[in-house]
Structures are given as C-alpha cells and as structure tokens.
A and B are shown apart, each in its own frame.
Chain A
Amino acid sequence: MPTARYIANDKLMPWLLSLTETRQVLAPVQAGGQTLFAPLTADSQLDINGLADASAKAALLPRCETLFEFHYSKSEGIPSKTELEVRETLPDQDTFLFGARPCDAKGFTVFDRVYDGGTRRDIYYCTRRDKTIVATLACTDPADTCFCNRVGGGPGDTDGSDILFTPVDGGYVIEPVTERGEAFLAEQPLVEAEDRKEEARKVREKVAEAMPDEGSLGGAKGEVLELFDDKEFWGDVTAKCLSCGACSYLCPTCYCFNMTDESNGDDGVRVRTWDNCMSFQFTLEGSGHNPRDGKAQRMRNRIGHKFSYYPELHDGNLACVGCGRCIVHCPVSMDVRAIVAQARDRALAKQEHAND
C-alpha cells in the first residue's frame, strides 16, 4: 500500500550520502559558480534552490556514451590477417537521481517514447533508465522564465518520476509515484507521514495556481507547420541567433545524437555524443549538400520538432517542458515562448487574409 514518508531538512544530506554506499547518487551541486548535476560526495555543496543550470538529462543520455570498444590485433598464425575484437560496454551502475525538477522528469518521458518505443528499444538508454530511480523535487519558486504550465506540465507534476519530494515546513514529504519508487522507499529508514500528504498537496496546488497563465503553447503544431515556407518569418525571428547550441545542450528534451569512432592505434571506442540541430554540420551530407545551411532553417526545425513534428507522432505530447533554460542561457536572449506565439499570430493572420 503506497504511503507517504517524511524527512527533515537536516537529515536530507546524511541520508543521501548513506545511499552512496550502494549506488551512485546524482544531485544538483554547486560547481564553479553554477548548479549542475554530479555524483554526490561528502564534499559536495548540495544546491536545491531553484532550477539547476544544466538539465538532468545526462543521467540517462550522457554527453558521451561508449557503445562498444574494439581492438585490432595480428592473428597468431597468419601475420597478414588482422583480428577484430568488439566488446559491448553497457551501463552497469545503479543510480539515484535526486533533485530533478518536474520539467526534467517530464523530459525523460519525451526520451521514453523515442528510445523505448515498443519494438525498438535502445539498449543503452533502457538499461540506464531501468537502473535509475528518479526522485523529483516539486518547485516552490518558479522563475519568470519557467513556463511548464503552458506546455502541459506543472511545478508539482509527476510525469517521468519515480518519487516526488514536496518541500513542507521543516523538511520534505516523500511520495512514491511508480512501483519502482515505492519498492525503493520501502527499504529506506524514513518516517511514515500519511497525515502530511494533504499539506504537500496544498503546497503544490498553491505554487501551480500562482504561475501566470499566459495561454497554452500546445496545439500550435498546425500553425508552425503552415509557416514552413515563410522565409521572411524565420529570417526575422533568427536575425539575432548566433546558431551556437547552448539551447540544445541545456534542454531536457533534446535527444539527437552523433556516433563516431575514436581510436588510438589498435584500440578504440565507438561513442555516441550529443548532437545539436543549431550546428551547420547537423544536416551536412557526404556530398557537401546541406538542406539546412542557414540558421533560419535550423531554428525552424528546432521549433517545428518540439511543437509540431514530435506532437504529431506522439499523441500531441510536446517536446518542450517549459524549463526556460534556453531563454536564461541564450547569449542573445532568444525566447521560444515568443517565437511560438509569433508563429501562431502570423499563421492566423495569413488564414484571415486568405479569406479576403
């Protein structure tokens, strides 16, 4: 019978550290002036005020993941023959991811549909997903750049999480979301707190209600697609874009990757690394042709993917969770909310004039 538990503020860090004996614990810590997810150690400065600067996606999709290692060697008897040995390198570490936000966890559901899609399962992603318990921390102070409520999420949402921590007076109410979460909590020395569930629910409700409601950004998929050939619109919207890639790499839902072999003499690895659609090389073909050789086309693809193509393929679910990191960290302050809103206005205006 799933039940709520409680942990006091001053017991949190010692408990998390105790978990490091049996698994890796990933948590938001201070690192060089930023708050980033890293393996927790006794020296770590845990930082759970606000949103971490980078998303937690590297817990399931590392920046650089080794798919297999290979070794070339000369055959014993026949010197002219070269042997190739290939060894798969699957992730093998149990992980407790603490302090992800509801937007980070919802990002994992975006990956699940792609990497764990029924008949097609990515063995690396799925192994990591199975070995990771996602313990999400509900938000109490959304930033001005947070807009999870406009893309089908919320500051207390549980999509993609195994466990939800809600800040209450003196500590956290801990509630299981999935069976895996409950199985984990059942083994932990945490006090039961069924009587504080309501308090936690009220905290989450209050935060959700306080978020400004500027209208949903979902449902724009038709409009975004309609502007596909509108060069002027995408040109204007991307005039200031630097085409860097900070947005893609910090985004909790971006999942595109590149695969390369890197070797040193006879030994090497095949690695899968984050790729980013803002880069010129993203669609550069072997022939030299590049269907998206300008930043306007690349941004059109980025917005299109998140707000149109992905929802089209996946039951209307957006590939944007409203964390706002792309807005906060963009060197030129591109604003995805504004771009989608402008796209809708422009498409609607065109429709109106079409009837003139």
Chain B
Amino acid sequence: MLAAATRAAQAVLDRPVPATIVVILLLALTTLGVAYVPRSIVLFIFFQASVLLLYLARVPIKWKAAIGAVTLAILIPVLGSINGYYLEIVTQVGIFAALALGLNIVVGLAGLLDLGYVAFFAVGAYSWAIFGSPQANQIFGGSTFPLAGGWFFVFLLVGVGVAAGAGILLGLPVLRLHGDYLAIVTLGFGEVIRVLANNLDKPINFTNGPKGITPIARPPIFFAPLLRAFGIEPNPNVIYPLYLYFLVLVIVGITILVNRRLEDSHIGRAWEAIREDQTAAQAMGVPLVRMKLMAFACGASFAGAVGVLFSAKQIFINPESFTFMESIGVLAMIILGGMGSIPGAILGATVVTVLNLQVLKGLSLWINELRNAGTMIFGLNLANLPTQLEPAKYERMVFGLILVLMMIFRPQGILPARRRHRELQGGDGN
C-alpha cells in the first residue's frame, strides 16, 4: 500500500510536466495554509517540505530556478511579515546553512575533522561587535566608536580576512596531525577562543567578558529613499527582519557559488584526494601544507562573514553563543545532510534548526496545553504527566538519536555527495 503510493508519487515527480504542476500546487496550497493559519507549525513544515520537493522533483531547470526565486524573494518574505517568527527561523536557517557550507569544505571535502569551527564564527562576530559598538572606545579611548552602520559592509570583508587568518593560525600547528589528534586540537582551539572572549575584559577590556557587547550597529537602510518613493515609510521594526533575511540570502548565495567553484576545480579535487589518502595525494604532487591551510582558511572565512552578520542581527553577543555545542551542532548538520554535499549541508542546517526552534518547542507547547486542559488518553489523565517530560529539554537527546539512526541506516547522509559524470572528449582507444 505504502510502497504503491511511493511508486505512484515517484512516477509523477519523475515526469517534468506533472512534477512542475504538483510542486506549484503544493507550494501555493501550503503558502495559503500558512497565510491563513499563521500559528500552525505543521503547515509551515509542510511549506518547507514543498520547497524541498521542488529541489528533488524533476522540474525543468528554468522552472525550478523561477519557482525557487519566487519562493525565496516573495513567498517567504510575505509569510514572514504575517508571522515574524517564521522569518526569524528562515534567517537562522540561512546563517547555519552558510556555516555548514564553510565547515563542509574543511570536513566534507578535505576530511580534516574540525571540532572548533564555531571559533571562526566568534572571531567574525566579535570583530564587528567591538567596532560596531562603543566597546572599541574602551580599547582606544576617546569616543570615535561605534563606527557608522555603513562600515558593516566593510566588516563583512574584514570578518572574512580575520577569520581566514585565524584559520591559518589554527592550521599551522596542526598540519602534522590528522584524525583523532586533529579533532582534539581543534576542539581545544574552539574552547580557547571562547575562554578568551570570556576573559579578555581585563586588563584591557576587549570583549567585555561574560556580560557581552551591546548595542551593536546594524547596517543602514540605504534604500530608504527608494521605499519612500514608493510611498512606504521605512519602519525599522518591519524592515530590519526582512533586510537581514535578504542579506543572509545573499551571503548563502555567495557561499554556495564559492563552494561549487572550489569543489569542481583542481583545488577541490586536491582536497578530496587528501581526504581519501594524504600520502598518495602528496606523492601525486599535491602540496599538503598549502592545500590544508587553504581549506582551513576558506572554511573559516565563511564563518567570519556570517559572524559579522550574526552580531549585527542579534545586536547583542556574548561568549554563550559560541560554545562547543554550537560546533557540534554545525557538524551534525553536515553529517545529517551528507558529507561533502552542498544541498546536503543546506538541508541539514534546515532540519536541525527547524527541529530545534519549531518541532521540539511546538511539541512542548502542545503537551503543556494538553496537561493544562487535563485531557484523558487511554484512561490516563495528562494532568498527572511529570513536568520533566518536555521535548524541548531533550533537544540534545533527539539529536543524538537522529545521528545514531543515521549512522546505522544511512551513513552517507540524506542527500549524499554525487560524483560528477562527464563525457570525455578525445583520447579514444590506445
């Protein structure tokens, strides 16, 4: 029964015309659903599932791009202005997707297990937080800071540079290590950065310690005159979430582009060769030191840029945002999605973030409602349910379970990396 249904669905989705129609219908339906019942998490997840279906179904590539663009540029912002929380979730998904794509280079392609990846995120975040807030006055004196919001865009590049530098700094001492040893050292590096952020408030106050830094400047609404020309009065509370969403979208777009170009080039192939067998790779002419440092720097630079954006989005940051669990979370995303796979990293980021922010929290709320209402199930009064039973508290356990199950049943990830197939030209026969 189920198998027959799956086969029928597969048959529809494999033919371009029916697939296109089905995907458009589903997207329209779920969009309407979310628009009319904005509080329904289930409907929003269905909406996300239709977006995934758009990617998986055999829709002609032009249509796919067009529908995808409409979804990202119109549907999500519209839904996001109906229920602001959804926009927040999508923005967070974007931030984590960019992080996952960066880590994907280091772990997925080059095979260097980095357990301290969030350190680079922190480096980027603090570089803008310090200069985009009055904090820098504590270091340099005077009152020149915060820098004007426009500097944010410069700092996106500064974040890239500083994080890449930190990546090389981490890379240099660990070059001789691989496997478990590398993992441990990178883990230590991640902790060192967090502890530094926590303690660099004396003797010179760089990071303001555990109290964190606030207020961090947001990028200026440079398009305000344009909005006014259309008769829209730019209200920061409405504009900023959308603005940041689009900024994240642009960064994720660039990240994907860079990832793809690196992956499908002699650089990406050298990274994969190192992952497969580094002795053989070196014997074939791949300079290990250079390529490994490049992998660390590239992966870190994405995290740096995203960190700058993150600090501007949050307005407030403290070391709590950059714990070891964050590194593990990003790693879980790429394991879940499929190591070395770009769509996998994005899907992994989506699944983990949505699971965290929506599914588990939603379940907790639901159980609480049932408990408060004293609903009876199978003669069991839910009012007597222990309060410890709250799915949101079991976030890590659910993650752990998912990862264990993945390793057993689908170790290659949900959307594993596919080998590129190419028609070769010339060189026939001997």
Does A associate with B in a complex?
no
